[in-house]
Chain A
Amino acid sequence: MTDISSPPRSGSLGTWLRDPNPTSPLQARLHQSWRMWRKLRRNGSALLGLAILLVIALAALFAPLLATHDIFAQDLGNRLALPSGEHWFGTDELGRDIYSRLLYGARITLYIAGLTAVISAPIGLLVGAVSGYFGGWVDTVMMRVTEIFLAFPSLVLALAFVSALGPGINNAIIAISLTAWPPIARLARAETLIIRRSDYISAVRLQGASALRIIARHVVPMCLPSVIARVTLNMASIILSAAGLGFLGLGAQPPSPEWGAMLSSARQFILSNGFVAAAPGMAILLTSIAFNLVGDGLRDVLDPRHD
């Protein structure tokens, strides 16, 4: 980045950001982000979602500082205790502090969601962009494969993959990623079909740019905004799938404080001690709501074509 050539000439950072005649690519890019942020700021529910996500991320980051108990320390004399000053959300069936476990569970949930996005988004983006750009039989073959993956409900397909790969958190991530890329591929393809007819693509092609270069430098960046919005929305269902796998005993394994796994072990005591399941479920619900709210907001801002 050598193009930070234009520091704020006169006035504050704000005027530099709002300058209608950017003098460097960086300024133009920041200008764009600034405008999007202003648009997003007007969307109250997206901000609420963002705030919830921030709290969850901070809880995950500072879990060791915020936790009041060792998450694996059992206290069999004090099992299934009701919430109290000592244990804010009560204790589970082995007397472990639910509040502290929830904090560490946030780490696992964000780890699963993040890694799944990092695996599935590039695959979907690449498949969609290549398929849409080349068209013809490449498109037919790739979209056929995508449709086959889409023909299964994602949870059932993830279950089948996990059963073949074996239970465990990393296999759950692989299984969910395998089911998460097709919708992204379809979206990226639809975007690419519009982009490839633009004049600037013809201009780049006339300059002799290779297909690879056009896709990587000119098509993919244009698909990114709507893909980002879509991935954020997908996070909600990824989290639900991961928790579902954990609940079935196929995702994170006990004694891991993953929220779905916590619900799974709480299940046996639920009829006598309902509160054991309340907090982990609320945590899943809140995280999923937050991703849905932010995803909706981002879509409004980033994807003008979507109504």
Chain B
Amino acid sequence: MADTGTMTKSLSATGRGRTIVLPRLVGGLKTLGSVLVTLLGLAALTFMIGRMLPIDPVLAVLGDNATQDAYDAMAAKMGLDQPLLVQFADYLWNILHFDFGNSLLSGRPVADEIARVFPATMELATLAMIIGTGIGVPLGVVAAVYRNSPIDHVARIVSLLGYSAPNFWLGLMGLVVFYSVLGIVGGPGRIDMIYEFDLQPVTGFFLIDSALAGKWDVFGNVLSHLILPALILALSALAYVSRMTRTFMIDQLEQEYVIAARAKGIGRWRIVWTHVFRNVAVQVITVVTLSYAFLLEGAVLTETVFAWPGFGRYMTNSLLSGDMNSVVGCTLVIGVIFVVLNLFCDILYRVIDPRTR
């Protein structure tokens, strides 16, 4: 990576125009190549996890008393008599066609099941990201401007809590306080039972679906269920986003152009938002994007606490019942999402930030 950087610099330094295209193309191809290798690695790792099982998958299907003939026939049918490399090639072929095998529990294709539960997680994580960013970015900016002031200390404590608190415990305590004692939020689940059949799934996002249908009582009910898990999930994003925003801002606030702008008589907040923040905006967007990936991870535990019928709960249920196809499928999907989000950030840097050119 360091090599491409110096190459780009030396090439663009020698000439203008044409020379800018070539290094960027080479850089882009290199990134694409490394992403492909990473994806292949993801496939290999999940393949190995699927094969690490202490249980014999053939016996799991046939039972312990299977005859040798039946065993061999089943092994051949499952492709287990092939060399590992051939099995891996088959696996690759299948996942390229979104075929993660069938769930051992329900017998349905894992890909279908993941597609079915994913909107619930997306809705939760998206709202959490909106809350986390909406509070985290301004908090980080203000903390950087008023460094070592009380508000900076508050920001520090909030982010320390966000980093340190087990979100499943916050979920449990949140349910006790806000649902059981105060009764101001909905309980576990996405929606009250009586509304469940009132809603025509269009996008799979219940908030949007109910708003589209104009059913505001359903909307309110959905929101009352969504708000607590979203707030708790948002805390970790808030911690990360505010901390990183603060660091980026402090770095920029120490630059000389800030002093120059002050000397010109531009107001403090005008400098902060129009000059300084614009310089860190790309970095902040990167952090927000990455925090979205971490929210999907945090959702695994939060969903378990709130009986949220999403991806995380699906994965843990599959885990507990030893449904290996589903577990491997889920792991792969999350890994691919991570890689894609990272790639997105990388492209964003290349396209938006002129300093990387």
Binding site for B on A (CB under 8 A): 144-145, 147-149, 151-157, 159-166, 236, 240, 243-244, 247-250, 260, 263, 266-267, 270-272, 274, 277-278, 280-281, 284-285, 288-289, 292-293, 307
Give CA–CA (A273, B175) in the complex, Å.
12
Give CA–CA (A288, B170) in the complex, Å.
14
- Residues in B whose Cβ lies below 8 Å from that of A162: 319
Q: In chain B, residues 256-287, which have Cβ atoms closer than 8 Å to a Cβ of chain A?
A: none
- B172 lies within 8 A of A152 (CB): no
Which chain B residue lies CB-closest to A273?
B176
- B169 lies within 8 A of A277 (CB): yes
- B164 lies within 8 A of A236 (CB): yes
CB-CB under 8 A for A293 and B53, given A152-B338, A153-B334, A281-B169: no
- B331 lies within 8 A of A248 (CB): no
- Residues in A whose Cβ lies below 8 Å from that of B29: none
Which chain B residue lies CB-closest to A155?
B297
- B41 lies within 8 A of A151 (CB): yes
- B169 lies within 8 A of A263 (CB): yes
Which chain B residue lies CB-closest to A266?
B172
- Residues in B whose Cβ lies below 8 Å from that of A271: 175-176, 179-180
- B168 lies within 8 A of A156 (CB): no
What are 14 A-to-B residue pairs whose CB atoms are below 8 Å? A144-B41, A151-B38, A156-B315, A156-B331, A156-B335, A157-B331, A159-B316, A163-B319, A164-B53, A164-B324, A274-B177, A292-B164, A293-B160, A307-B251
Which chain A residue lies CB-closest to B170?
A281
- Residues in B whose Cβ lies below 8 Å from that of A260: 166
Whole-angstrom distance between the Cβ of B175 and the nearest chain A Cβ: 7
Most buried by B among A149, A159, A166, A272: A159
Interface segment out of the listed B4-12, B44-52, B75-83? B44-52
> B140-184 interface mask toward A, CB cutoff 8 Å, 1 = contact, 0 = none?
000000000000000000001101111011101101110111000
Give CA–CA (A247, B301) in the complex, Å.
9
CB-CB under 8 A for A160 and B297, given A152-B338, A274-B180: no
Check: B117 CB closer than 8 A to any chain A CB. no
Which chain A residue lies CB-closest to B247?
A307
Whole-angstrom distance between the Cβ of B127 and the nearest chain A Cβ: 19
CB-CB under 8 A for A278 and B173, given A159-B316, A160-B49: yes
Contact of A288 among B49, B166, B294, B335 (CB under 8 A): B166
Which chain B residue lies CB-closest to A150?
B338
- B334 lies within 8 A of A152 (CB): yes
- Residues in B whose Cβ lies below 8 Å from that of A157: 331
- B324 lies within 8 A of A274 (CB): no
- A289 lies within 8 A of B160 (CB): yes
Most buried by B among A163, A164, A266: A163
Give CA–CA (A278, B296) in the complex, Å.
26
- A292 lies within 8 A of B163 (CB): yes
- B293 lies within 8 A of A153 (CB): yes
Q: In chain B, residues 295-340, which have Cβ atoms closer than 8 Å to a Cβ of chain A?
A: 296-297, 300-301, 304-305, 315-316, 319-320, 322, 324, 327-328, 330-331, 334-335, 338-339
- B175 lies within 8 A of A248 (CB): no
- Residues in B whose Cβ lies below 8 Å from that of A164: 49-50, 52-54, 324
Q: In chain B, residues 30-48, which have Cβ atoms closer than 8 Å to a Cβ of chain A?
A: 34, 37-38, 41-42, 44-46
CB-CB under 8 A for A160 and B172, given A166-B54, A244-B301: no
Whole-angstrom distance between the Cβ of A161 and the nearest chain B Cβ: 7
Give CA–CA (A147, B335) in the complex, Å.
11
